[in-house]
Structure 1
Amino acid sequence: MATQSSGIRGLRTAVAAVLGIAAGAVAAAAAQRHALDAIGERLEHLEKRAVTQQQTNLAMQQRQHWELLSKAMDNPELTEVLDIFEAPVTVQKRRQYLFANALYTNLLCYYRIGNLTRDEFFKHARGMFQNPIVREYWYATRQQRASLTGTEEAELGLLIDDLLLQLDEADTDEWWVVGDPPLDA
């Protein structure tokens, strides 16, 4: 009986050891899971903060762009610095083009910071490009946009180019229905 009793004790000890190891593994897994969840939450917080910082940076850049353009539009000598158009233009036309640039850049910024969907961007652009001066500006700056390959801004520029072709070819005066809005990316 002593042999049987020590065998049972040995079995109990082995079971207790296995249970201890299992409990330790469960506790370690739970601690690891908790750590992974905490890391996931921290990463999510950092990603949101990065998006917010990117939006802040874009807004600051937009403000600086407007301030520079405003100075140039107010001073013909500074306006000459921004004469990047393919054909010579008058000071008045250059100032109008700079304002058209400010309008388009503002629309682009609104899209980039998430205030507009791609569909809304398209619809606003469709209205903006009804103005002949804005269209002239667009055509006069074609050369600068050609260097923007592979960027989101280049994609949107091509979208505008396509829209203008559709508007030019449309056999309707109802410009607000011309063109298929893009699928939001």
Structure 2
Amino acid sequence: MATQNVGFQMLRSAAAGALLMAAGALAAIAAQRHAMETMRQRVEELEEQARAQQRSNLAWQQRQHWELLSKAMDDPDLTEVLDIYDTPVSPQRRRQYLFANALYTNLLCYHRIGNLTREEFFQHVRAMFQNPVVREYWYATRHLRASLTGTEEAELGALVDHLLLQLEEADTDEWWVVGEPPPADE
């Protein structure tokens, strides 16, 4: 009987040890999960800070772009520097092109920082390109956009190109219904 008692006590001790080890393992797993969750939250915070910084940088760059274009539009000597068109244009038309560029770039920036969805961008562009000077500007700068590949700006430029083709082929005066809006932003 004493042998059975010793065996039973050893079994109980082993079971208690196994339970303690399991409890320790569970506690370690719980601590790891907590640490992983804390790290995941920190990574999300850092990613959001990076997105906010990128939006801030884009807004700053947009401001710089506008200031440079404004100077060029106000000073005919500076406007000459931006004569990048395949065919000669008058100083007045060059200033108009610069303003068209500023309008388009503003829409592009608004979309990139998240103030406009792709569909809203499309709607604004569709209205803006009803102006013949804006269309002329777009065609005059086609060669400049040709070097943009694999970027969001290139995708949006292709969207505008496709829209203009649809507008030109449309047999309706109701321009606001022409063109297929792009798929919703992801």
**What residue is the counterpart of 1:176 in the other structure?**
176
RMSD: 0.8
Shift in Å at residue 183 of structure 1? 0.7
- 2:159 paired with 1:159: yes
Read off the aligned partner of 2:156 and give its amino acid letter. Answer: L
- 2:164 paired with 1:125: no
Read off the aligned partner of 2:172 and give its amino acid letter. Answer: T
More displaced, 1-10 or 94-103?
1-10
TM-score, normalising length: structure 2: 0.97
Q: Deviations over 1:9-51 (max 9, x none)?
A: 2111101110111001000000000011101111111111111
Unpaired runs of at least 5, structure 1? none
Alignment partners' CA distance in 2, 1:123 and 1:164: 12
**What residue is the counterpart of 2:43 in the other structure?**
43
**What residue is the counterpart of 2:66 in the other structure?**
66
SS in 1 for 2:17: helix
Aligned pairs (5 A) from 1:1-185: 1-185=1-185
Alignment partners' CA distance in 1, 2:86 and 2:21: 77
Alignment partners' CA distance in 2, 1:158 and 1:110: 18
More displaced, 45-54 or 132-141?
45-54
Unpaired runs of at least 5, structure 2? none
Read off the aligned partner of 2:54 and give its amino acid letter. Answer: Q
Read off the aligned partner of 1:169 and give its amino acid letter. Answer: E
Runs of 4+ in structure 1 over 3 Å off: none
Q: Deviations over 1:78-130 (max 9, x none)?
A: 11111111111111111110000000000000111111111111100000000
Read off the aligned partner of 1:45 and give its amino acid letter. Answer: E
SS in 2 for 1:157: helix
TM-score, normalising length: structure 1: 0.98
Q: Deviations over 1:39-90 (max 9, x none)?
A: 1111111111111111111101100100111111111111111111111111
Alignment partners' CA distance in 2, 1:178 and 1:11: 82
Aligned residues: 185
Read off the aligned partner of 2:37 and give its amino acid letter. Answer: D
Read off the aligned partner of 2:38 and give its amino acid letter. Answer: A
Alignment partners' CA distance in 2, 1:143 and 1:182: 24
Q: Give the fraction of aligned pairs with identical amino acids, expressed as a percent.
A: 72
Read off the aligned partner of 1:110 and give its amino acid letter. Answer: Y
Alignment partners' CA distance in 1, 2:160 and 2:4: 89
SS in 2 for 1:148: coil
